[in-house]
Amino acid sequence: MSHNDKITQLNNCSILAHTTNNDPIAFCHENVISFVFHPEVSHTTYGKQLIYNFLCICRCPFTWKPTQICENIVQQIKIFNKLFGDTLHLY
């Protein structure tokens, strides 16, 4: 999501939960609550605490590291190549 992205329309099953400057920033659908904001940026008040709370609620381990993304992608490419041959070309 980019800083300029915004919600322009909700489906009939969603409920608008909050707005800022008349732009929707939170909505609910069934048992899912969604927010449109960036808790990771330095000017978000309590952003780190929000992320920490979210990870606790989701019961995510705190052992994740950014390098794991690269390792995961490399593993997926290797699996893809085993299944489909060397047909994936990265430019």
Q: Quick: pLDDT tens for 22-56.
A: 666 677 777 777 777 777 778 878 888 888 888 88
Helix (H) or strand (E) holding 75: helix 67-84
Integer CA distances (angstroms), 19 to 6, 7, 10, 15, 35, in order: 11, 10, 13, 12, 10
Give the sign of the dihedral formed by CA 60, CA 5, CA 36, CA 45.
Answer: positive
Q: Quick: pLDDT tens for 47-87.
A: 888 888 888 888 888 887 778 888 888 898 888 888 887 66
Per the model's pLDDT, the better-predicted residue between 15 and 61 turns out to be: 61
Name the residue ranges covered by the structural domains of the chain.
Answer: 14-84
